[in-house]
Structure 1
């Protein structure tokens, strides 16, 4: 029996971001790709994503910050590379949370206020 793939939304955001910034980015993902099973964030950025998860009734997965630099992403943001060692925090988080063999459904999206990014990965976790 084939296991259904889980769709996990990963987030990256600036200190100034609000839960509204993240919610708007999540809404864009849902509009573009459809249903999302779980949310994910780097451990150091977890609280705001947990708040969004509570508001939306979606489970949140924490990813170890040190693992971000081990992931190859579609996006190559210089700011993200310098700050976190990865081209896109949102893409790296989504891939790590979705597990080995996960794939991104596309590059990250950026919230309208440009404070948050979100990316969607499919995996079997």
Structure 2
């Protein structure tokens, strides 16, 4: 079977974040790393990411909030650790959505308005 590398963009964001915040962060990520195959978000953060996915015609993967603390991330945000039990929601979501043996391409990217973060993970699918 042929294996494909999936490129998953995982999001984390504050309650005040807007669709523009997420879109700008995604554009930065794509400018830096190239095309994105799918978007991902924790269940509790899904509506805004689903809206972005609809607008950009990109499939969205939901990740269980309870799984976030199980992931070791590159970033160690004190605020994220306190609120969600992980150093970076964006990095954790990207890794969980990309599946076993996934790896982060780099640390999360922060939107210009500092309301959203996005991270890219590569996963293998058959």
| Bin for the TM-score computed over the shorter chain | over 0.9
1:1-125, aligned counterparts within 5 Å? 1-125=1-125
SS in 1 for 2:119: strand
The number of residues matched between the two structures is 125
- Under a length normalisation based on structure 2, what TM-score does the superposition of the two structures give? 0.98
Deviation for aligned residue 1:57: 0.3
| Structure 1 gap ranges (5+) | none
- Under a length normalisation based on structure 1, what TM-score does the superposition of the two structures give? 0.98
Deviation for aligned residue 1:4: 1.4
| Cα-to-partner distance string for 1:15-52 (whole Å, 9 max, x where unaligned) | 00001000000000000000000000000000000000
User: Matches of 2:48 and 2:4 in 1, distance apart?
Assistant: 28
SS in 2 for 1:82: helix
| Structure 2 gap ranges (5+) | none
Structure 1 runs (4+) greater than 4 angstroms displaced? none
User: Matches of 1:52 and 1:124 in 2, distance apart?
Assistant: 24
Deviation for aligned residue 1:2: 4.0
Alpha-carbon RMSD across the aligned residues, in angstroms, is: 0.7
